[in-house]
Structure 1
């Protein structure tokens, strides 16, 4: 029966902290939970050099976050970037998250590096721009919504022809689209409230050194249903694109 379902590949670009993995599972599992059950999902470990053959073999592509840094240009990461560039060229629906967002931008000629103001972590607001109103993925979403975030690197410059869709006061490139069907989002639609709190717990010593108040950040974590709903939206888009 699964053969009639759209085929989606998750490119796993790393793993979460061991203590979080033990309690909540790993990145790919969170995406599987958030995506529609009506998809036939396969996970490839891109960090281990495991990539699918032709992007056109898939109806949709999701790229996870990673503790790695895109600017390090590790061989596995550069190979994955080249593969993503092919996927965009072939107009395969694609959603890159955090590292995946940055890798997509890098793959298409954008610039990725450390954010000049440091780390962004916790539950923050994302503001959608006018261009998101008729975007196939973001249409109908509220102009501002909460999202879970944790990153040190950012897309410093978008690829040519990319359309900026979302931002906030800290991060000017929270969401973009390139071509018809490829999106990058800096925020984490796959993070639950509990996972976000767990991240801030693990990061607490670093956060203190960087001048943050980790406990206040944990206390301010809330659910982010609109951001989380992006995975179901992407699932619906893949299904529609496959049916068309």
Structure 2
């Protein structure tokens, strides 16, 4: 059986696939990584069974400095139209929202940074990826922009007190996560060193090595199974949500 092939769009070297790549490759998924600062994005999604879009330091609408952002939004819109399983993280979630009719802006409440909780919304209970998550899973936050308005018809899946649109699904199987699940302690520490003003918004000790190592062990326990469910969605072994998929019972 041929391994499913995912297009991975990487806007910045500072946010690599890291754990997400390890988990997907262990699940038999082939990854085609495109580093967008170094090479053009594909013109279409032919030959791919899914899409991942990672994060970066730029804004979702910073096309003057990064003209390839328009190509990313076009591909994410195509992915939704083609019902390709899609996982868009942080900047990727903002690009997904902007590509499908949502609104992105600088967050009025300042940066959201550190190891923090998000809370599932009611719609998560019948979602194939979110239903089995704890109600308040830990995540890595490191952003100052927000998805201000969800795209029309999007399913709201998770919120935080500071910024409510933390996770959402557009269509049957395109997921936006405002937070990070792919990091290592070293990646988070590098972000803190590169953006000290944002890092100063985190609680004391959130960038200590021991704290981050323990936090990432907890993150892996929750989010590795989530990514395994995403891989099943890519392989066609898990029905997507929505009217054309198979709804799950509420938990």
Per-residue CA distance 1:2-56 (angstroms, 9 max, x = gap):
x71111110111121xxxxxxxxx5134431232420111111234452223324
Q: Which moved more, 1:131-140 or 1:230-239?
A: 230-239
- Counterpart in 1 of 2:231? 235
- 1:199 pairs with one of 191, 209, 214: 191
What is the RMSD computed on CA atoms of the aligned residues?
Answer: 2.4
242 and 43 in structure 1: CA distance in 2 versus 1, 3 angstrom threshold: farther
Counterpart secondary structure, 1:177: strand
- Counterpart in 1 of 2:59? 69
- Counterpart in 2 of 1:10? 8
Contact 1:126/1:147, CA 8 A, preserved across alignment: yes
130 and 242 in structure 1: CA distance in 2 versus 1, 3 angstrom threshold: closer
Per-residue CA distance 1:149-180 (angstroms, 9 max, x = gap):
10111111111111100011111011000110
- State the aligned residue count: 230
Shift of 1:94: 0.5
Alignment of 1:45-194 (within 5 A): 45-48=35-38, 50-73=40-63, 74-194=66-186
Contact 1:123/1:146, CA 8 A, preserved across alignment: yes
Q: Distance in 2 between matches of 1:235 and 1:158?
A: 25
- 2:29 pairs with one of 39, 60, 66: 39
- For structure 2, the 5+ residue unaligned runs are 241-251
Counterpart secondary structure, 2:168: strand
- For structure 1, the 5+ residue unaligned runs are 17-25
Q: Which moved more, 1:55-64 or 1:90-99?
A: 55-64
